[in-house]
Chains A and B, each alone.
Chain A
Amino acid sequence: MPSKIKSSRDLEKLQQALSKKPDTGKPRISVCNGTACRPYGSNPVVDAFKLEIEKRALDNQLEFKVTGCHGFCERGPIAIIEPGNIFYQKIKVEDVAEIIEKTLKKETIGRLLYKDPGTNLETVKQDDLPFYRNQKRIILGNNTRIDPTSIEDYIAIGGYSALAKALSTMQPEQIIDVVKQSGLRGRGGGGFLTGSKWETCRNAHGDVKYVIVNADEGDPGAYANEGLLTGNPHSVLEGLIIGAFAIGSHQGYIYVRNEYPLALKNVTTAMQQAEKLGLLGKNILGSGFDFSVRVNRGGGAFVCGESTALMASLEGKTGEPRAKYVHTVEKGLWDSPSDLNNVETWANIPQIINNGAAWFSSIGTKGNTGTKIFSLTGKVNNTGLVEIPMGIKLREIIFDIGGGIRGGKKFKAVQTGGPSGGCLPEKLIDLSVDFDELTKAGAMMGSGGMIVMDEDNCMVDVARYFLTFLEEESCGKCVPCREGIKRMRQILNDITEGKGREGDLDLLKELSSHLKDSSLCALGGSAPNPVLTTIKYFSEEYEAHIKQKKCPAGVCKMLIQFSIIDEKCPGCGMCVKVCPSNAITDMGKKKPVVLDQSKCIKCRTCYDICRMGAVKIE
């Protein structure tokens, strides 16, 4: 580790030295070991690389880098070979020796390349893949270039130069002006102008001020902040220090979900490294500015993503929100002015300081500048983290980047904004993705979850799912949220069980409008969105459940039945073996199996295992 950096000039020198390391001439293998690659076995792959390189003493001929999330999680474990920008996917331990061998010989391995599912054509370079080609990765792009546990890596690619620029050449007011002019809006979901928030906090009365990173990404199905914090923690930290300087704060907090062990580890390491190098602490880069940071772990409460609940939790209390009639930028943590921004918002700051407000606002659309990271998941072919310029169409994300719907199924809906957001139908597929358009349609940008659903997903079940989630996550303080969500969930439960009644939808709508008006915080206020959007865009599905007692998508257990299509069943007995309730009987070879309805628990195991499509759900 280099010694303490005492000035901007020192940092510049170190950056030059690090970026000119002799390493740069060697071929480099970067393997993704982000959280989403781990279920695919990226850990053993990384170990195999290390072992092989050590065994063959290739340290001098090859640079090996373990990085955070590359984004294309669907194809993990992933490696990028430089030079050449070669993209290898679905790597197994057995492939490791060959990858090393071929990389040294400057050859590529065809079988590990990405093949277009339609044309079967191979693509060599990452940048040419449809998944990456249509993105604009100003924030996430560096994930593939650095080892997130190495501050040298970050500095080598120009890291902390924005901080040096801000501290040595800019006044706090100037920084705020640049952020304001950039048009950056809060990436946590609300979309409030970041620069204005900073300005209010700077001007608020009080000697002590706090800056906070909200990394309590609680939206189920969103992991954009996880990918960023795990893959490039220094970019968030750098943004935070710049913000602290602009606001006049000397103490910062990073509030990380406890369910993100890797993010926690990497951000803690980053903080310790920055401290050692003098980028945190007293007299940062000789500027006279002091700032320190503390990492706090969340306790597993979705409501703590709400600013006042998060601050209560930071004070060691239960995460109950309070009314925000006096804003947290005036009176927040320990009643002091506090600025809280989302991980992604902070990570944008160094880019804006380095490249200027004009550059930033040239990306995206007027009023919605810059990029947004989404975790594209669900029934889409290319799942992963995607970063897009604001204002592109949903269609471009789902079909061009996401490669369309899995298994040739039909697109049904896309859910954005998590439990506070909504489900948008096919007719809105050309909607532009920005704060205002999504809100207008009844959904929300949120922290960047984008869950694609196909014809096999039941929208009433999805609404029920979100309300069940919110019922569990409500802090329970105020009546509308605690009692209202419970009743809404009960009604939805009844509908999915075939006990829906006429008038249920009206009551749901009435409760929705009440929750929006009267809840204490945004959790309750936005809780109706999943219900309202599904009623608005998929009313026929509700009708089918309530009137015909049918679930057209074949999801709601009480309304469906499994049966065997005799003509299609070869009697292989696979389903008989896996059926947990012994509901299927083998009738001998080449004879169709028999399913006993009274024993069937509708677990779907037979449906999933049958390769002949002989199990029918109706």
Chain B
Amino acid sequence: MSESVTLTINGQKYSAEKGKTVLQVAADNGIKIPTLCHHEEIEPYGACRLCIVEITRGTRNRIVTSCLYPVEEGLVVQTDSPRVVRNRKMLLDLLLARCSENKVIKGLAAEYGIEKPSFREEYREKHDCIVCGLCVRACEQVVGVSAISLVNRGIHKEPKPPYLERAKACIGCGSCFYVCPTNAIQMEDKNGIRRIDRWKVEFKLKKCSKCGIEWAPVAQLEYIRKKWDLPAGFFDICPNCK
């Protein structure tokens, strides 16, 4: 049996499994902490910082990211203290200046009462990507393909295919599209073709030999077939018809 610890979140005592993070425990208990760069299936990264909380240990208070902070006995957590809210607002202010026309960011900022960034108009940028790295991490950790990576550093950092060319290793699975928290990745299935423009890729979709629906990229199915050593023709029929 795993060890358990008792911690306090927003004045309420909770028992939690040792090894879990504050964010997991909060979620388990229905306490909402905002986050953009976190996904349960992917290792925590701590880039967007929105999940910051204030912790008290002894007489010391500090701000930590709940997606990375492991719970410990006697830990006191505040998820919405004035200091947390002040910092979270500034994060959204900064994100809004970067993604001034992105719906997700605008919505989240509005939740915290921010309608426009505190910075000069001429500083505003129109990115959709917040460089949280979820697409890259999903591609590496979940799919196991690493078709894209974070390229450059600092303000020039962004997810890109190698040499900024077509992502040759991409199998078109669309994981990046599904995990992207700000809809910065567009994916379109049309006329038997899947397109992900951000990675400059196009894939032929497989038609189900029974119902005729175009259900997945051929490249992805081939990748899975080879990985699991499945017989040829295994994916001729879509899951719905099986």
- Is there a contact between chains A and B in the complex with CB atoms less than 8 Å apart? yes
Which A residues are within 8 Å of any B CB, using their own CB? 301, 318, 322-323, 325-326, 471-480, 482-484, 486-487, 490-491, 494, 507, 510-511, 514, 517-518, 520
What are 16 sample pairs from A and B whose C-beta atoms fall under 8 A apart? A301-B153, A322-B46, A325-B64, A473-B154, A476-B150, A476-B157, A478-B46, A478-B49, A479-B94, A482-B131, A483-B98, A487-B119, A487-B123, A491-B119, A510-B90, A520-B46
- For the complex with contacts A474-B155, A487-B123, 5 further pairs of A-B residues with Cβ separation under 8 Å are A323-B65, A475-B153, A477-B133, A507-B118, A520-B65
- B47 close to A (CB within 8 Å): yes
- B148 close to A (CB within 8 Å): no
Query: Number of residues in B with C-beta < 8 Å to the partner?
Result: 35
A507 to B83, CA, bound (A): 17
B156 and A490 contact, CB distance less than 8 A: no
- Residues of A contacting B156 in the complex (Cβ-Cβ under 8 angstroms): 476
Grouping DSSP codes into helix (H, G, I), strand (E, B) and loop, the A interface class, with mixed when no group exceeds half, is helix
B154 and A482 contact, CB distance less than 8 A: yes
CB < 8 Å neighbour of A479 from B69, B119, B130, B154: B130
Which B residues are within 8 Å of any A CB, using their own CB? 45-49, 52, 63-65, 68-70, 83, 86-87, 90-91, 94-95, 97-98, 118-120, 123, 130-131, 133, 150, 152-157
B87 and A514 contact, CB distance less than 8 A: yes
A479 and B155 contact, CB distance less than 8 A: no
- Residues of B contacting A474 in the complex (Cβ-Cβ under 8 angstroms): 153-155
A514 to B130, CA, bound (A): 18
A480 to B98, CA, bound (A): 12
A389 to B154, CA, bound (A): 38
Known interface pairs A326-B70, A514-B87. Does A487 touch B97 (Cβ–Cβ under 8 Å)? Answer: yes
Number of interchain pairs (Cβ within 8 Å): 96
A414 to B95, CA, bound (A): 35
**Shortest beta-carbon distance, B16 to chain A, in Å?**
15
A482 and B155 contact, CB distance less than 8 A: yes
A1 to B130, CA, bound (A): 58
- Residues of B contacting A484 in the complex (Cβ-Cβ under 8 angstroms): 90, 94
- Residues of A contacting B120 in the complex (Cβ-Cβ under 8 angstroms): 490, 494
**Shortest beta-carbon distance, A300 to chain B, in Å?**
11
A511 to B91, CA, bound (A): 10
A476 and B154 contact, CB distance less than 8 A: yes
- Residues of B contacting A482 in the complex (Cβ-Cβ under 8 angstroms): 131, 154-155, 157
B123 and A490 contact, CB distance less than 8 A: yes
A483 and B95 contact, CB distance less than 8 A: yes
- Residues of B contacting A487 in the complex (Cβ-Cβ under 8 angstroms): 94, 97, 119, 123
**Shortest beta-carbon distance, B104 to chain A, in Å?**
14
A486 to B123, CA, bound (A): 10
- Residues of A contacting B83 in the complex (Cβ-Cβ under 8 angstroms): 517
B154 and A475 contact, CB distance less than 8 A: yes
Q: Report, nearest first, the 9 A-B pairs whose CB atoms are least far apart.
A: A476-B157, A483-B94, A514-B90, A474-B154, A476-B154, A323-B68, A517-B63, A518-B87, A476-B153
A52 to B236, CA, bound (A): 85
- Residues of B contacting A476 in the complex (Cβ-Cβ under 8 angstroms): 131, 150, 152-157
Residue of B with least CB distance to A470: B154
B49 and A520 contact, CB distance less than 8 A: yes
A477 to B152, CA, bound (A): 11
B154 and A472 contact, CB distance less than 8 A: yes
Residue of B with least CB distance to A322: B46
A237 to B207, CA, bound (A): 65
- Residues of B contacting A511 in the complex (Cβ-Cβ under 8 angstroms): 90
Residue of A with least CB distance to B89: A514
**Shortest beta-carbon distance, B15 to chain A, in Å?**
21
- Residues of B contacting A491 in the complex (Cβ-Cβ under 8 angstroms): 119
A474 to B157, CA, bound (A): 10
B155 and A486 contact, CB distance less than 8 A: yes
A520 to B87, CA, bound (A): 13
B94 and A478 contact, CB distance less than 8 A: no
- Residues of A contacting B91 in the complex (Cβ-Cβ under 8 angstroms): 479-480, 514, 518
A520 to B150, CA, bound (A): 17
A511 to B152, CA, bound (A): 24
A486 to B95, CA, bound (A): 12
A318 and B49 contact, CB distance less than 8 A: no
**Shortest beta-carbon distance, A122 to chain B, in Å?**
51
**Shortest beta-carbon distance, B114 to chain A, in Å?**
13
